Amino acid sequence: MTADEPNEPKLIRVVGAAIVKDGKVLCAQRGAGKSLAGYWEFPGGKIEAEETPRQALRREIEEELLCEIDVDKEICTSDYLYDFGRVELTTFLCHLIEDTPVLTEHERIEWMNPAGMPQLDWAPVDHDAVERIAKMTL
């Protein structure tokens, strides 16, 4: 690479869980002091080198929300170029198996009807999944 070639932004591969319970979806607000603080997102996180997206999602939800989920169908994969890198998000429809989600990393969580979800201030990479889920009957 020469000095006048642009640097490729860092690719950050993440997964998000659209957890459904009683026809509502769990929406999580990012806490203060984190990148994208205050934005809403689907809980989840980075995919480690040895993991499949589904394995990463189960692990992240156990760590972040202290509960177990069943990872169902993939909703979509979208990406967004932030100032810190390009985030590629794969969002899955998930179902709560055991326990109640506990706040460990997020400012707050809300169970919302799908049609109301677009009213929240979502992180840019989540917009595609939010629009798709808002049109679903769960």
What are the tens digits of pLDDT across the range 44-100? 999 999 999 999 999 999 999 999 999 999 999 999 999 999 999 999 999 998 778
Does pLDDT of 23 surpass 60?
A: yes
> Which tokens is 89 given?
């998000």
- Structural domains in the chain plus CATH codes: 11-134 (3.90.79.10)
The amino acid present at 16, given as its one-letter code, is: G
The predicted pLDDT at position 63 comes to 94
HEC string of the chain equals CCCCCCCCCCEEEEEEEEEEECCEEEEEEECCCCCCCCCEECCEEECCCCCCHHHHHHHHHHHHHCCEEEEEEEEEEEEEEECCEEEEEEEEEEEEEECCCCCCCEEEEEEECHHHHHHCCECHHHHHHHHHHHCCCC
- 50: number of Cβ within 10 Å: 7
Give residues with Cβ within 8 angstroms of 27, minimum separation 6: 40, 41, 42, 109, 110, 111, 112, 117, 120
CA 82 to each of CA 87, 100, 108, 131: distance values in angstroms, whole numbers, following the listed order: 7, 32, 23, 20
Overall pTM > 0.85:
yes
Mean pLDDT, residues 39-45: 96
